[in-house]
Amino acid sequence: MSSSTDHYEKLLQKYLDGQCSVVETEELYAWLQSSGSHRSLLAAMQREFKKTMEERHEIPSELSDRIETRLLQNISRDKVIKFRQRTRLRWIAAAAAVLLLGSGLYYYTNTVSSRKTFTTGNATVANTGDIAPGTNKAILILANGDVVTLDSAGNQVINQGQTIVRQKNGQLEYAAQGNSGAVVYNTLTVPRGGQFNIVLPDGSRVWLNAASSMKYPTAFNGDRREVELQGQGYFEVVPNARQPFFVKVNGLEVQVLGTSFDIMAYADEKSINTTLIEGLVNVKNGTTEQRLKPGQQAIVDPATGNMVVRPADVDQVIAWKTGFFEFDNASLGDILRQLSRWYDIDISYNQTGNERLFGGRISRSLPLSDILHMLEANGPTFLLSGRKLTVTSGK
């Protein structure tokens, strides 16, 4: 092995151990891209990974974390690679790293991801300016029409009759001072490129995803608690059998008796999905009603009103709340809709024929360019101009 190759082998090992400097990382990436003559080194790395896996030595957590947040692996229509247990993830991450390196895929660390043009082994993404991920932000519309802007750093107190509303960074918290006053309704609206969470007057907590809104009372009086949702929300409801909790969404009604669940009801999605994490909910659509058990999902077709119940991939459903995109047998169109909401971009995409399917788990904290890199390595080509993303080709 030449001294030059030996140098880059050591550099590659430093990178996998998480010890490369920014300069060394850029040098290594440039070398891996420069020629197809480095197969011997890649083969050596493959043997090393194989030996590690056969001996069941754990892959360093830093490596698995890095690959987990940057990997969007292409999958076939009849095989879905799922990332579940952490130990299994590290084994998959090791194999994935070899596959990615072996195919010439070039992916960037955050330190170099702001470049204007990105090149991988088989496609180019032209980028006229990277786009940062979404943040904690929302608009609070009070009952009297006043509008309050909320963001990640805000801390303020809003007095609304007998109700005190406190904003603490990315959270809105209600503290009802009594039930004698008239109940009024506020609306919390989260734009594209945002997320926010709210503690309701009864202590129940709701996380709202991008492009979502919820209308709710400033106090829960009477024999029921009721809110109206558009978009996507994750609920943790405080139990109160004497005052059940209801969520209304696009003609659907979800009755809750103290539980954790997710509702996804975007207008541009094909179905309204209610997924139960724990507890008990009844999902009612017209005359059809289904009771869900933990781990089940009710899927309603808005066009026909048909409802089916099936086992849910809970990790995938609530990945957005924990800071990830998670795809399992997802089409490019499915992925682009999520990117549009989180990165606040308009997408031009004309689907032709059957789409390739994707699976994997990616951090939502990455800039848009990193996500596009992972996608375009598997076929599509993108042109980003301002906040408009055009999908120019795919295979």
Q: Tens of pLDDT along 274-306?
A: 999 999 999 999 889 999 999 999 999 998 999
Alpha carbons 228 and 233: distance in angstroms, whole number: 11
Among 59-63, 88-92, 348-352, which stretch is predicted with the lowest mean pLDDT? 88-92
* pLDDT attached to residue 346: 96
CA distance 341 to 357: 20
Q: Are strands 171-176 and 163-168 parallel, antiparallel or unpaired?
A: antiparallel
Tens of pLDDT, residue by residue over 192-210, are: 999 999 999 999 999 999 9
Cα–Cα–Cα angle for 232, 235, 240, rounded to 5 degrees: 145
Question: Which pLDDT belongs to residue 11?
Answer: 76
**CB count, 10 Å around CB of 286?**
11
Reported as a pLDDT band with limits 50, 70 and 90, residue 354 is low
Tell me what percent of the residues of the chain surpass a pLDDT of 90. Answer: 44
Q: 187: buried, middle or exposed (CB in 10 Å: 19+, 13-18, 0-12)?
A: middle
Q: Which of 77, 73, 193 is nearest to 135 (CA)?
A: 193
Which residue has better confidence, 265 or 110? 265
User: What are the φ and ψ backbone dihedral angles of 342, each rounded to 5 degrees?
Assistant: -80, -35
Query: Under a CB-based contact definition with an 8 Å cutoff, are residues 268 and 254 in contact?
Result: no
| pLDDT average, residue stretch 45-65 | 48
DSSP state for residue 110 in the 8-state scheme: G
Q: What amino acid is encoded at 105 in this protein?
A: L
CB 373 within 8 A of CB 125: yes
As a whole number of Å, the CA-based R_g of the chain is 24
Sorted by where each starts, the structural domains of the chain and their CATH numbers stand as 1-132+327-395 (no CATH), 135-317 (2.60.120.1440)
- Of 49, 105, 44, give the one whose Cα is nearest residue 73: 105
Q: Which of 81-85, 198-202, 213-217 has the lowest mean pLDDT?
A: 81-85
- The CA dihedral of 359, 365, 371, 372, to the nearest 10 degrees, is 150
Tokens representing 180 are 């004698």
Question: In this structure, what token pair is assigned to residue 67?
Answer: 């690959």
Examine the pLDDT at 36 and tell me if it is beyond 70. Answer: no
Contact present, 30 and 104 (Cβ < 8 Å): no
Phi and psi at 190, nearest 5°, equal -105, 120
How far apart, in Å, are the Cα atoms of 26 and each of 21, 32, 217, 241, 387? 9, 10, 54, 60, 28
Lowest mean pLDDT among 122-131, 154-163, 306-315: 122-131
Asked if 11 and 20 count as a contact pair (C-beta separation under 8 A), the reply is: yes
Q: What is the pLDDT of residues 231-258, one digit of tens each?
A: 999 999 999 989 999 999 998 999 998 7
Phi, psi of 34 (to 5 degrees): -70, -25
- For the cut 60, the answer to whether the pLDDT of residue 121 exceeds it is no
Phi and psi (nearest 5°) for 41? -65, -45
Q: How much is the mean pLDDT over the chain? A: 76
Give the helix/strand (H/E) hosting 378.
none
Percent of the chain with pLDDT over 70: 67
